[in-house]
Amino acid sequence: MNYFCIAPFVNISLTPTGVSKPCCLYRGLNTTQDPITAFNSQEWQDLREKMLRNEFIKECDSCNHIDTTVGFYKTEYSSYREWFNDRYEYDGTSQIKSIELSRSNKCNFKCIICGWDRSSRWYQDEQELNKIVPRLDVPIASGARVMPEVITEKIISIGIDQIDFTKVDNLALQGGEPLLDEKSYEIFDQMPEGSHLFISTNCSISPSRIPFDKFDKIDVNISIDGINEIGRDVRLGFNTKHFLKILHEWMSHDNCIIHGHYVYHNMNAFSMQETKDFFMIRDDFNWIYDVCKYPKYLSPKILPEHIELPINIRNRKYDKNECDNFIRFVDYMKTKQQFHEDTLKIYDILKM
User: Are 224 and 231 within 8 A, CB to CB?
Assistant: yes
Statement to judge: residues 292 and 235 lie in one domain: yes
The strand pairing partners of 218, in sequence order, are 197, 256
**Which amino acid, one-letter code, is at 175?**
G
Q: H or E stretch including 51?
A: helix 42-52
Pairing outcome for strands 235-236 and 215-223: unpaired
Statement to judge: residues 182 and 38 lie in one domain: no
Q: Is residue 140 part of a domain?
A: yes
Distance from C-alpha of 224 to C-alpha of 259, rounded to nearest angstrom: 10
Statement to judge: residues 71 and 106 lie in one domain: no
Statement to judge: residues 171 and 304 lie in one domain: yes
Residue where a domain stops, chosen among 23, 46, 80:
80
Statement to judge: residues 176 and 304 lie in one domain: yes
Count of structural domains, the chain: 2
Q: Is residue 91 part of a domain?
A: no
Q: Please, what's the b/e burial string for 44-65 (b: 16 or more CB within 10 A of its CB; e: otherwise)?
A: beebbebbeeeeebebbebbbe
User: Are 348 and 266 within 8 A, CB to CB?
Assistant: no
- The pairs formed by 334-338 with CB atoms below 8 angstroms and a separation of 24 or more are 336/125, 337/233, 337/236
User: Are 332 and 345 within 8 A, CB to CB?
Assistant: no
DSSP state of 26: -
Statement to judge: residues 102 and 66 lie in one domain: no
pLDDT at 144: 47
pLDDT in tens, 122-155: 888 888 888 899 876 666 665 545 555 555 566 6
- CA 248, 84, 144, 269 torsion-angle sign: positive
Statement to judge: residues 75 and 118 lie in one domain: no
Residue where a domain stops, chosen among 52, 80, 108:
80
Structural domain containing residue 41? 1-80
Statement to judge: residues 219 and 307 lie in one domain: yes
Statement to judge: residues 146 and 2 lie in one domain: no
Q: Is residue 246 part of a domain?
A: yes
User: Are 201 and 180 within 8 A, CB to CB?
Assistant: no
Residue 288: phi and psi, rounded to 5, are -125, 135
Q: Is residue 86 part of a domain?
A: no
Q: Is residue 323 part of a domain?
A: yes
Which residues, 6 or more positions from 13, have their beta carbon under 8 angstroms from its beta carbon?
20, 21, 22, 23, 24, 26, 99, 100, 101, 144
* Closest among 330, 145, 320 to 234, alpha carbons compared: 330
Query: How many CA atoms lie less than 13 Å away from 126 in the CB half-sphere?
Result: 26
Q: Is residue 92 part of a domain?
A: no
Instruction: Provide the 10 A C-beta neighbour count for residue 270.
Output: 16
Q: How far from 3 is each of 43, 200, 331, CA to CA, in Å?
A: 18, 28, 45
User: Are 282 and 251 within 8 A, CB to CB?
Assistant: yes
Statement to judge: residues 296 and 181 lie in one domain: yes
Intervals of the chain under pLDDT 70? 66-70, 136-156
Cβ-count burial of 222 within 10 angstroms (0-12 exposed, 13-18 middle, 19+ buried)? buried
Distance from C-alpha of 11 to C-alpha of 159, rounded to nearest angstrom: 17
Instruction: Provide the 10 A C-beta neighbour count for residue 245.
Output: 12
Statement to judge: residues 64 and 174 lie in one domain: no
Pairing outcome for strands 256-264 and 215-223: parallel
